[in-house]
Structure 1
Amino acid sequence: MKLYTFEAAPNPRRLGLLLKHKGINIDTQAVDLMKKEQFSDSFCAINPRSTLPTLVLDDGTVLTDTIAICMYIDSQYPDKPLFGRNELERAQVIGRCHQIFFEGFTAVAEVLRNKGDAFKDRPLPGPLKMPQLPELIERGNLRIGAFYEAMNDEVAERDFLVGNDLSQADIDLYVTLGFCGWVKRQIPDTCPALQNWFTNMKARFGE
């Protein structure tokens, strides 16, 4: 297998923390998003969607969706499972990951990618050019606030989102909360349970 990634970016970070938790080393090549190397001819030949992370399997199969890559690697390295210990937990983890991505991750992306020159003509990942919509900044910030409140309720009386062990859902929530900092949003004092949960996760990952 060969992994193409850019460790600082949030989607690659979701995968990176899985690899760290499991102690897995994969042949890796950095693709510098700051230099827009994801749009280079050489990388587009591997992944025309120009997204990271991208995993190329030994038989040439290419996986380009973060959750798909995480699920595949978790299945290939079953120690310390991150997608549940039974079918019900697996379904719950996937559901939580979808919720976090839709309600939190994309809200931050709305704010981040619809202002400034860094994402000019590219408010969505991939090669398709389109105009930024400044109106989405306000909506994205409202969504972030609602996300904080919802997640504060979820972790108020539990250490993990699914079952009694760390799962990919916890990793995704942790990464998304950090991603909020990219748009200068921090967990508010009205969400103390979420603040404590984030602090505990940060210590768990040694960050």
Structure 2
Amino acid sequence: MMQLLDCTRAPNPRRVRIFMAEKGIELPRREIDLSAGEQFSEAFRRINPECAVPVLELDDGSAICEVLAICDYLESQFPGQALLGENARQRAEVLMWNSRLEFNGLLAVAEYIRNTLKGFKDRAISGAQNYPQIPELAERGRLRAIAYFQRLDAHLDGREFIATERYTLADISAQVAVDFARWLKLDLTADCANLRRWHEAVSARPSASA
């Protein structure tokens, strides 16, 4: 049976859960205890050698890893609300913004958080390898995130959503990045009226609690 290997607190699995909630997809979920290092177990490594969640296990026992790959598969299997665009042009726009948000948003915030919090000591980068924290990278990540979301604030002037004219994966990625930053009390919506308006709206959607 298809199931999602999940971690309730982690940002990337949340992106998939929001995606599923928006499309009305209900799948069994298995919680992976990242704090206990379950992702490094031999059993989990056989599923995903990168030691990361989320993972979508398929009926045939194979696995799809990485948020975009999982969402693309779910979009193809569960038609309905199109969260990756309704045509080639819209899909390209959504993927463009999602890529920007992953690199300039989620990764910048992760750089800040994982190089700051003591709980990530020697785990500054997620995955199979251990890497030491570098304080300078924490500050760089913080500055990168602030600068990017200020640019996104300008983009949202007069817009309801980030890509196309409807809620998409791009909004999900930005939404999770803003919430993730608040782990260290970094409010990316500060002094960004458009971003704050947008974030309040997407946070009011039922899927935000996924």
TM-score, normalization by structure 1: 0.95
Secondary structure of residue in 2 paired with 1:71: helix
Which consecutive segments of 4 or more residues in structure 1 shift more than 4 A?
Answer: none
Cα distance in 2 for residues equivalent to 1:139 and 1:160: 27
The residue number in structure 2 matching 1:114 is 115
Q: Structure 1 unaligned segments of length 5 or more: list them.
A: none
CA drift at 1:124: 0.9
The residue number in structure 2 matching 1:187 is 188
The residue number in structure 1 matching 2:198 is 197
Cα distance in 2 for residues equivalent to 1:162 and 1:134: 34
Kept in 1, the 8 Å contact 2:75–2:82? The answer is yes
Secondary structure of residue in 1 paired with 2:30: strand
1:1-207 mapped onto 2 (5 Å cutoff): 1-205=2-206, 207=209
CA drift at 1:116: 3.6
Q: Structure 2 unaligned segments of length 5 or more: list them.
A: none
Residue identity opposite 2:139 in structure 1: E
Cα distance in 1 for residues equivalent to 2:41 and 2:158: 47
Cα distance in 2 for residues equivalent to 1:6 and 1:36: 12
Superposed CA deviations along residues 82-133 of structure 1, whole A, max 9, x for unmatched, are: 0001001001111111000100111111111112431121111112112211
TM-score, normalization by structure 2: 0.94
Secondary structure of residue in 1 paired with 2:145: helix
Q: Percent identity?
A: 38
Are residues 189 and 128 of structure 1, via their aligned partners in 2, closer, same or farther at CA, if it must alter by over 3 Å? Answer: closer
Residue identity opposite 1:18 in structure 2: F
RMSD over aligned CA atoms reads 1.3
Kept in 1, the 8 Å contact 2:83–2:167? The answer is yes
Superposed CA deviations along residues 18-56 of structure 1, whole A, max 9, x for unmatched, are: 111111111221101122211122211211111000112
Work out the number of aligned pairs and report it.
Answer: 207
